[in-house]
């Protein structure tokens, strides 16, 4: 339910005095939406307050600008203003110091949070020792000439690798055939068309199929040697 007329004037008067700055009716209406006040009764309240001398107004063309009466406020003299400016500067300096202190404390908290607890240190140490032991055992086997990968395992891995290369080669050929068929009679530039579709081939991402094929051949040569 909307406030009564006299209550509306009280709300509007309090708002204009609290703001103590030039306001038009739309400024007041936007700020007083929480009181369920519409623009029309706010306009009427402003006009009544002007007629009763509780607020003042100035006209700029068709628009009225409303102001709080300045004679109701204690206006400080130059000495008081200078004192207030000095107090404000001191408060700003204290605020800057507090911000600096807060930043330092936050940085220290983050630093402490990033450090490991004693329990975490022991756990990490144990994990690293275990890894070192495993690596030392492998190193001893390598020095002793022990074969870590059996011929059967090597053959199986080579088979998987060879099959992957074959699939790769097949898909490259399939794409090339399809792409050539699409772009053969297309008016678009193939490179621009590929970028438009978001297509990337091996060369675009710096991958060389032949280097992987050569790796397979080199591995077989080393195995025979």
- Supply 74's token pair: 């204690």
209 within domain boundaries: yes
What pLDDT is recorded for position 147? 64
39 within domain boundaries: yes
Domain of residue 31: give its range.
Answer: 5-68
Q: What is the CATH number of the domain that holds 45?
A: 1.10.10.10
79 within domain boundaries: no
Those residues whose C-beta lies under 8 Å from the C-beta of residue 12, and which sit 6 or more positions away, are 28, 32, 42, 45, 46, 49
User: What residues of the chain score a pLDDT lower than 70?
Assistant: 1-6, 145-149, 218-225
185 within domain boundaries: yes
pTM, two decimal places: 0.36
What pLDDT is recorded for position 6? 66
DSSP conformational letter for 4: P
What pLDDT is recorded for position 146? 62
Count of the separate structural domains present in the chain: 2
* Distances, alpha carbon 151 to alpha carbons 13, 68, 148, 220, in Å: 95, 96, 10, 12
89 within domain boundaries: no
What pLDDT is recorded for position 31? 92
């Amino acid at each position: 339910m909307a406030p009564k007329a006299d209550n509306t004037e009280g709300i509007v008067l309090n708002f204009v005095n609290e703001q103590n700055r030039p306001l038009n009716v739309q400024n007041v209406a936007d700020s007083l939406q929480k009181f369920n006040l519409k623009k029309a009764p706010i306009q009427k309240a402003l006009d009544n307050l002007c007629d009763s001398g509780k607020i003042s107004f100035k006209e700029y063309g068709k628009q009225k600008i409303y102001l709080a009466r300045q004679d109701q406020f204690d206006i400080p003299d130059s000495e008081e203003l200078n004192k207030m400016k000095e107090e404000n500067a001191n408060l700003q300096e204290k605020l800057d110091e507090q911000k600096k202190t807060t930043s330092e404390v936050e940085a220290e908290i983050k630093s402490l949070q990033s450090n490991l607890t004693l329990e975490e240190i022991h756990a990490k140490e144990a994990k690293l020792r275990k890894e070192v032991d495993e690596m030392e055992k492998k190193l001893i086997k390598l020095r002793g000439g022990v074969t870590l990968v059996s011929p059967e395992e090597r053959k199986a891995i080579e088979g998987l690798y060879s099959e992957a290369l074959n699939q790769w080669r097949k898909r490259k050929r399939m794409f090339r055939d399809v792409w050539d068929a699409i772009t053969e009679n297309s008016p678009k530039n193939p490179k621009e068309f590929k970028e438009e579709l978001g297509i990337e081939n091996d060369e675009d991402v710096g991958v060389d199929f032949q280097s992987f094929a050569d790796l397979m051949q080199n591995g077989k040569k080393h195995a025979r040697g």
